[in-house]
């Protein structure tokens, strides 16, 4: 069993080290001259891969905590995917009418005059 434990420890440390490499690799483009959206895209992908790799390494290291670590993996994957979608949607050059598919004015129901029923007066 000591050989198996040593291999699991090495794999765990390798995943954690790979996660740290992804974190630094994603941070490096922030100092470049590219657009802000490119920088955010690079950072979010590398951060997601790095975090997932680190959590997977922790899962190998402390398997008794598997429910919490699997929840962290699913949360990271779901949250970062949705965040990327929202960033791409907000960064699109389309006007709001084309994005929503029909003419939608923000706060139109709040600013319009209230409807009164004249028949009961």
pLDDT of residue 55 exceeding 70 = yes
117 or 66, greater pLDDT: 66
CA-to-CA distance for 23 and 74, rounded, in angstroms? Answer: 19
Q: Is 0.85 surpassed by the pTM of this model?
A: no
Contact, 12 vs 60, CB < 8 A?
yes
Q: Which residues 6+ apart lie within 8 Å of 60 measured at CB?
A: 8, 11, 12, 15
> Could you report the per-residue pLDDT of 69-99, keeping only the tens digit for each?
999 999 988 888 888 777 777 777 666 555 5
Helices then strands, each counted (H, E), the chain:
5, 0
Q: Quote the number of domains for the chain.
A: 1
Q: Does the residue 116 lie in any domain?
A: no
CA-to-CA distance for 32 and 67, rounded, in angstroms? Answer: 39
Residue 78 lies in domain? 2-100
pLDDT (mean) for 96-118:
56
Assigned token pair, 39: 């920088």
Q: Does the residue 86 lie in any domain?
A: yes
């Amino acid at each position: 069993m000591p050989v198996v434990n040593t291999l699991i420890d090495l794999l765990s440390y390798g995943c954690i080290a790979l996660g740290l490499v992804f974190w630094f690799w994603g941070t490096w483009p922030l100092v470049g001259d590219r657009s802000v959206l490119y920088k955010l895209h690079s950072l979010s992908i590398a951060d997601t891969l790095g975090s997932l790799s680190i959590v997977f390494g922790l899962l190998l290291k402390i398997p008794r905590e598997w429910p919490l670590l699997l929840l962290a993996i699913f949360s990271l994957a779901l949250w970062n995917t949705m965040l990327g979608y929202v960033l791409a949607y907000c960064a699109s050059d389309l006007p709001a009418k084309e994005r929503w598919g029909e003419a939608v004015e923000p706060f139109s129901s709040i600013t319009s005059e209230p409807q009164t029923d004249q028949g009961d007066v």
